[in-house]
Structure 1
Amino acid sequence: MISILKKAYQNRYFLLFILVFAYVQSIYIRMIVRREIDAYIFTPEAALATLLNAGLLFWVILYFIKKWQVSNVLNTMILLKIFIASLLTYMISMKIIGLLLALIFDTVERNFNKDAFTYSLFSDLLDGIIYGGFFLAYYYHHHSRKQYEKLMIYNDALAKSKINQLKNQLNPHFLFNNLNILDQFIEEDKEKASDFLNEFAEIYRYVLKVSEKELVSLNEEAAFARQYFNLFQYRYGKAYRLNLDVKDSNGFIVPLTLQLLIENAIQHNLGTEDDPVEITIRIDESIQAFNNIRLKRNAKPVSGRALKNLEEQYRILTQKPLEVNRSADRFSIRIPIIHSLSI
């Protein structure tokens, strides 16, 4: 009983709609039959009886849905089978209930003569079609919405899992590259190595903090990018130059995006103080980054793994793709700004 009341409460608006519809229907039928308006026309007992009968029909439909609807995919033939079987079962049940009541109150002759039986049969058929149609439309709409919500939850969890997997590929890459630089400093200049290590510790603290985030603010990432570039100035001086221009800081970005762009430019290009590699990052309606190309001699073939990794993250988070262009002397990339933390 408690379960039934709970279900009724959960679907109270649908049941209220059925009751109101049945009440309007009863008023309309009485006005046609009686051809006059009086207080009896507006009494609600017929609507309440219709609601009870509809409840029986709904229970029958649910029974056949559980029996035959084995897949979450809606099948027209299965739906038609459920509807016809439910309609026949409902009509037979109504006749059996009507016969039992007629036997109890000794009204069999009045209620089951040819005219009365035909009228009640047609009435049950019409009500079954109308209210059964209402219920099936409501049930499958509600079912589809729940399936959609489950799918959204699943896709969201899958996207977050994928993003975490991609970040786990980037972070070791970041760590090992800088440890190699530190190793070189230890051999060449221990004092510089100590300063570098302190700077690196601050930067990696940021990396650990944002590893659990899907997005960070543009201001936060820009500040990190400047601090990160300082690490390379320990090693290369003015052989690499960064021009980071933030014209519009509204929005969010995938963590470590700017760091990756800076690292790629430095890793694949050889700069000198006389002929530096110029790295420019402009943040306005989008993020535009470009650098001149001075490829290192005997450099390892470029795998592009880190950039593909970044492209995959943005593919998951936004419908706008990254735009990458390469020429003989220039590399450029355009990255969309994400304007919502809701993924």
Structure 2
Amino acid sequence: MRQFFASFYLNKYFLAFIVIFAYLESVQIRYFFGRKVDWYLFTPEAAVAQLFNAMLLFVIIGIVIKRFDEQVSLSRAIRVFVISLLIYVLGNNLLSYLVALSFGTVARNFNEASLTSSNIKYVMDVFVYGGFFLAHYYFQKNQEDKAKLANLEKTQMQSQLAQLKAQLDPHFLFNNLNVLDQLIEEDQAQASAFLHDFSDIYRYVLQSSDQQLVPLDDELAFAQRYFRLMQQKYGQAYRLELSGEVPTQAFLPALSLQLLIENAIEHNLGTELSPVAIQLKISEMSLKISNVLKPKKQVKKGGGRALQNLRTQFELLGKYSMHIKQNESTFEVTIPLIFENEH
């Protein structure tokens, strides 16, 4: 029985409310009919009887919900209410008839006046106590369903983010191994320095791989280390320009800035005489990275996948969106900053 009541969220606070309400109702009814205050007004036997009826009603409603429908909707709640009303009224009449029959008082207790009075009381019991029960049950059920849905969405989001990160990490690794391969052929000493720096950078990649978000300060530091790594291959063909103050408690998905810098380098041809300036501007709520367009003649197949991957990460994290703007001369990406109290 305890498990049965627990399945309908009938905790001690709700039951305490029912006990207090039943007692106050019995006091009110006695005063309404007696119009006097005495010790009998406050005796609890009527409240106990009413509490018994209420618990019987709760059991009936619980069985109806279990038998017919547990889903939350207004039409289903009305159906449960009507079925429970009919069962409660008919059940009480049958029980009263059997008691009257055993004591030989059928004629006195089952005349028109007494039947009307008792059935009105039964109906009012269902409306009052049944209303309390259904309101409490469907509210708690709705809260539980919302929590389950939120947990499901969170689990799905974490799973999708993990899949996206799993795509990004090899992407980062293979791209830089290609750079290392080229440097080995051109300059072994530079390749050795590149490999040393790359090991430090990839350590950050591994450490942040299991985090949805990382502090903006860490991302900026990592992006600058990554850019210095790229300069070992390209020299001064690309320039990184940072501006703006870093907000406190701001976060980004891991590797966001590295991905955007890499995108600018991969798709634009810079030289030392005509370098590509990559501008990174930090504002209060967002970060914008832009570059002058100097498209390469040959671009890797599958270009744009990394940007789409990053856009999807922001969408999965909630009400955040990444904006891409391009005209004839510039390419610009704006990403929102995520603050500690928002995640």
Q: TM-score, normalised by structure 2?
A: 0.92
Which secondary structure state, in structure 2, belongs to the residue aligned with residue 238 of structure 1?
coil
For 1:267, the equivalent position in structure 2 comes to 266
For 1:257, the equivalent position in structure 2 comes to 256
Tell me if the contact between 1:58 and 1:132 (Cα under 8 Å) persists in the aligned partners.
yes
For 1:85, the equivalent position in structure 2 comes to 83
For 2:177, the equivalent position in structure 1 comes to 179
For 1:319, the equivalent position in structure 2 comes to 319
1:269 counterpart letter in structure 2: N
Which sits farther off after the overlay, 149-158 or 83-92? Answer: 83-92
Which sits farther off after the overlay, 131-140 or 297-306? Answer: 297-306
C-alpha distance 89-147 of structure 1, shift in aligned 2 (>3 A): same
Structure 2 residue runs of 5 or longer lacking an equivalent are: none
Aligned with residue 149 of structure 2, among 143, 148, 151: 151
Deviations 1:123-178 (A, max 9, x none): 11211222112211211111111111110001111111111111112111111110
For 1:58, the equivalent position in structure 2 comes to 58
For 1:133, the equivalent position in structure 2 comes to 131
For 2:116, the equivalent position in structure 1 comes to 118
- What is the CA–CA distance in structure 1 between the aligned matches of 2:9 and 2:171, rounded to whole Å? 55
**2:277 aligned with 1:278, yes or no?**
yes
Which secondary structure state, in structure 2, belongs to the residue aligned with residue 241 of structure 1?
strand
1:40 counterpart letter in structure 2: Y
C-alpha distance 9-39 of structure 1, shift in aligned 2 (>3 A): farther
1:19 counterpart letter in structure 2: V
- What is the CA–CA distance in structure 2 between the aligned matches of 1:89 and 1:195, rounded to whole Å? 84
Shift of 1:31: 1.3
For 2:32, the equivalent position in structure 1 comes to 32
Shift of 1:75: 5.7
For 1:243, the equivalent position in structure 2 comes to 241
Tell me if the contact between 1:318 and 1:338 (Cα under 8 Å) persists in the aligned partners.
no
- What is the CA–CA distance in structure 2 between the aligned matches of 1:16 and 1:284, rounded to whole Å? 54
Shift of 1:259: 0.1
Deviations 1:174-216 (A, max 9, x none): 1111000100111122221111111111111111111111000
For 2:329, the equivalent position in structure 1 comes to 329
C-alpha distance 9-304 of structure 1, shift in aligned 2 (>3 A): closer
Structure 1 residue runs of 5 or longer lacking an equivalent are: none
Deviations 1:207-245 (A, max 9, x none): 111111100000111110111111111111111111123
Which secondary structure state, in structure 2, belongs to the residue aligned with residue 51 of structure 1?
helix
Shift of 1:80: 3.0
- What is the CA–CA distance in structure 1 between the aligned matches of 2:100 and 2:320, rounded to whole Å? 70
Which secondary structure state, in structure 2, belongs to the residue aligned with residue 319 of structure 1?
coil
- What is the CA–CA distance in structure 2 between the aligned matches of 1:289 and 1:8, rounded to whole Å? 54
- What is the CA–CA distance in structure 1 between the aligned matches of 2:29 and 2:82, rounded to whole Å? 26
2:275 counterpart letter in structure 1: P
Q: TM-score, normalised by structure 1?
A: 0.92
Which secondary structure state, in structure 1, belongs to the residue aligned with residue 242 of structure 2?
strand
1:31 counterpart letter in structure 2: Y
C-alpha distance 271-201 of structure 1, shift in aligned 2 (>3 A): same
Which secondary structure state, in structure 1, belongs to the residue aligned with residue 325 of structure 2?
strand
- What is the CA–CA distance in structure 2 between the aligned matches of 1:73 and 1:98, rounded to whole Å? 34
2:33 counterpart letter in structure 1: V
Tell me if the contact between 2:289 and 2:334 (Cα under 8 Å) persists in the aligned partners.
yes
C-alpha distance 234-97 of structure 1, shift in aligned 2 (>3 A): same
Which secondary structure state, in structure 2, belongs to the residue aligned with residue 79 of structure 1?
helix
Which sits farther off after the overlay, 2-11 or 242-251? Answer: 2-11
C-alpha distance 290-140 of structure 1, shift in aligned 2 (>3 A): same
Pairing 1:7-22 to 2, within 5 Å after superposition: 11-22=11-22
Tell me if the contact between 2:289 and 2:333 (Cα under 8 Å) persists in the aligned partners.
yes
2:218 counterpart letter in structure 1: E
- What is the CA–CA distance in structure 2 between the aligned matches of 1:75 and 1:118, rounded to whole Å? 30
Tell me if the contact between 1:170 and 1:306 (Cα under 8 Å) persists in the aligned partners.
yes
1:305 counterpart letter in structure 2: R
- What is the CA–CA distance in structure 2 between the aligned matches of 1:5 and 1:60, rounded to whole Å? 12
For 1:162, the equivalent position in structure 2 comes to 160
For 2:222, the equivalent position in structure 1 comes to 224
Which sits farther off after the overlay, 280-289 or 227-236? Answer: 280-289
Tell me if the contact between 2:325 and 2:333 (Cα under 8 Å) persists in the aligned partners.
yes
Shift of 1:122: 1.7
Tell me if the contact between 1:8 and 1:15 (Cα under 8 Å) persists in the aligned partners.
no
Shift of 1:112: 4.1
